[in-house]
């Protein structure tokens, strides 16, 4: 910082890996520079927060670790009014649960700056506004601006639908009670103006050229994440055989048929395969698993991607950015509408292929994987995006921004 003194910077996000992990690299950078960082999270993320050097501000969540109680066949490729109403209701319920603990934490230990997960970090945004603490939104997915937003261009939502209006009025009542000058629609949609921190490179952003310089596209900020454990290729095999990594992330990974299709697709191919299947399926039901297909519940994803040649992924933005950070092309199999937008961008930029989740068969998987591995253009484009990610600045650029904001707006003690 220009005045030479450390700052207290507070982070808040929803309790999900795709929301917490992208911020941890920034936390590591800030603490390495001597700043004090607090991170509001649930116990599930306590070890990761501590490893990054932050102080944990514990809270109980209404959403933490809950599996998604839905059917894949019911998930549309485009977000609808009913989908949005459910998400907004869940966020309102979560906000009401978190407001008290977070407000008490900020009152007892006032931060110089609040950095919150946008558009879902309502509680932190509201308390910062109520207490006059400078706040900065961060985006783990595409930014929203005047010319482009995920909500306007990639959804089929009617904002006047009755189920949305009911939640709208509940949010309005909360804002009135807190006496916060934020419109309900803005809280629901998130900020569409800067400054904002965006964890994707500008080149990956839809209509990236339309966003001003106050949108800071620093790209992914990868942390060490030693808490994820260790991994090495079975038998110490080198890179003479392609390595394919398969994961559906941490939420929509309860699909035994998908993982069996992967086993069947790759069983007879001269590749090494690592599959991370999560905790929701019984791995014993997978049949015919050959020696070159390694099935584990969890793997340290960054370590596997460092050696991978292809990533078969659900196309969550965190996974997409991690894959591209190592120049790994993808076969994207999105499990929900937001992931479909990510996958479409992957295809538009020549970074991989798209396979619809309803069309996953062993043959379709094998053809898609062969197509990406066999065409040099995919690896070349993924390498280009890796270079753009490196040029975006990552955690050092993000920390520079936060330091400059604290220097401009630091609250007198």
- Three-state SS string across 96-140, please? HHHHHHHHHHHHHCCCCEEEEECCCCHHHHHHHHHHCCCEEEEEC
Torsion of CA 379, 383, 385, 389, to 10 degrees: 140
Residue 66's pLDDT is 47
Q: Identify whether the C-beta of residue 8 lies closer than 8 Å to the C-beta of residue 111.
A: yes
DSSP 352: E
Three-state DSSP at 353 gives strand
Using CA atoms, how far apart are residues 313 and 304, in angstroms rounded to an integer? Answer: 13
Determine contact, residues 298/278, Cβ cutoff 8 Å: yes
Lookup: tokens for 133: 């603490």
Closest-CA residue to 287 (of 313, 267, 311, 271): 267
Q: CA torsion 202→183→340→197, rounded to 10°?
A: 30
* Three-class SS state of 296: strand
Looking at 140-220, which runs of residues are DSSP E strands? Answer: 155-156, 196-198, 215-217
Residue 373, pLDDT score: 97
Q: What is the pLDDT of residue 189?
A: 87
Q: What is the torsional sign of CA 148, 200, 23, 340?
A: positive
412 DSSP assignment: P
For the chain, the helix, strand and coil percentages under 3-state DSSP, each to the nearest 5? 45, 15, 40
Q: What pLDDT, on a 0 to 100 scale, did the predictor assign at position 156?
A: 82
Could you tell me the fold of the domain covering 8-219+393-409? Rossmann fold (3.40.50)
CATH number for the region 228-390 comes to 3.40.50.2000
Which backbone phi and psi does 113 adopt, to 5 degrees? -155, 140
Residues 6+ apart with CB under 8 A from 162: none
pLDDT tens digits, the chain, 413 residues: what are they?
Answer: 445 689 999 999 999 989 999 999 999 999 999 999 999 999 999 999 999 999 999 999 998 654 445 555 455 566 788 888 999 999 999 999 999 999 999 999 999 999 999 999 999 999 999 999 999 999 999 999 989 988 888 788 888 899 999 999 999 999 999 999 999 999 998 888 889 999 999 999 999 999 999 999 999 999 988 888 899 887 655 568 999 999 998 777 788 999 999 999 999 899 999 999 988 888 889 999 999 999 999 999 999 999 999 999 999 999 999 999 999 999 999 998 889 999 999 999 999 999 998 899 999 999 999 999 999 999 999 999 999 999 999 999 999 999 999 998 754 55
* 302 contacts 236 by C-beta, under 8 angstroms: no
Answer for the pair 406, 306: CB distance below 8 angstroms, yes or no. Answer: no
Contacts made by residues 288-293, CB under 8 angstroms, sequence distance 24+: 288/263, 288/264, 289/263, 290/263, 292/234, 292/241, 293/262, 293/263, 293/266, 293/267
Tell me what pLDDT residue 233 has.
Answer: 86
Distance CA 225, CA 248 (A): 19
What Å distances lie between residue 146 and 110, 125, 150, 152, 190, CA to CA?
33, 21, 11, 10, 12
Residue ranges of the chain that CATH labels 3.40.50.2000? 8-219+393-409, 228-390
Angstrom distance (rounded) from CA 43 to CA 327: 33
In whole angstroms, give the CA distance from residue 7 to residue 41: 20
Element (H, E) at 36: strand 36-41
Predicted local distance difference test score (pLDDT) of residue 229: 87
Task: Give the chain's end-to-end CA distance (angstroms, integer).
Answer: 17
pLDDT value of residue 238 = 55
Question: What is the structure's pLDDT at 2?
Answer: 47
């Amino acid at each position: 910082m220009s005045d030479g003194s450390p700052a207290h910077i507070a982070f808040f996000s929803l309790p999900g890996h795709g929301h917490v992990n992208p911020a941890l690299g920034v936390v590591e950078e800030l603490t390495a520079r001597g700043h004090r960082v607090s991170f509001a999270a649930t116990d599930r993320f306590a070890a990761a927060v501590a490893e990054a050097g932050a102080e944990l501000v514990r809270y109980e969540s209404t959403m933490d670790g809950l599996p998604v109680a839905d059917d894949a066949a019911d998930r549309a490729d485009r977000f609808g009014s009913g989908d949005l109403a459910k998400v907004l209701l869940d966020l309102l319920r979560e906000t009401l649960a978190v407001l008290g603990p977070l407000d008490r934490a900020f009152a007892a230990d006032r931060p110089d700056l609040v950095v919150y997960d946008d558009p879902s970090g309502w509680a932190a945004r509201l308390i910062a506004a109520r207490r006059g603490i400078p706040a900065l939104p961060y985006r783990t997915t595409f930014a929203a601006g005047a010319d482009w937003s995920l909500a306007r261009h990639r959804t089929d939502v009617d904002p006047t639908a009755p189920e949305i209006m009911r939640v709208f009025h509940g949010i309005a009542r909360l804002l009135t009670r807190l006496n916060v000058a934020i419109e309900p629609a803005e809280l629901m949609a998130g900020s569409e103006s800067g400054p904002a921190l965006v964890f994707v490179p500008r080149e990956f952003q839809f209509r990236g050229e339309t966003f001003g310089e106050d949108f800071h596209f620093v790209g992914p900020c990868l942390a060490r994440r030693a808490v994820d454990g260790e991994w090495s290729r079975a038998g110490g095999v080198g890179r003479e055989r392609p390595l394919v990594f398969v994961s559906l992330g941490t939420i929509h990974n309860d699909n035994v048929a998908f993982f069996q299709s992967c086993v069947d697709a790759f069983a007879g191919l001269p590749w090494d395969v690592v599959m991370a299947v999560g905790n929701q399926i019984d791995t014993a039901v997978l049949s015919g698993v050959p020696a070159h297909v390694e099935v584990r519940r969890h793997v340290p994803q960054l370590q596997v991607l460092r050696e991978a040649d292809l990533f078969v992924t659900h196309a969550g933005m965190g996974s997409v950015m991690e894959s591209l950070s190592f120049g790994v092309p993808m076969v994207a199999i999105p499990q929900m509408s937001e992931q479909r937008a990510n996958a479409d961008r992957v295809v538009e930029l020549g970074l991989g292929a798209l396979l619809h989740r309803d069309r996953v068969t062993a043959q379709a998987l094998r053809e898609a994987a062969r197509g990406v591995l066999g065409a040099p253009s995919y690896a070349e484009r993924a390498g280009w995006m890796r270079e753009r990610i490196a040029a975006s600045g990552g955690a050092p650029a993000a920390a520079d921004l936060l330091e400059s904001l604290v220097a401009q707006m630091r609250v007198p003690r």
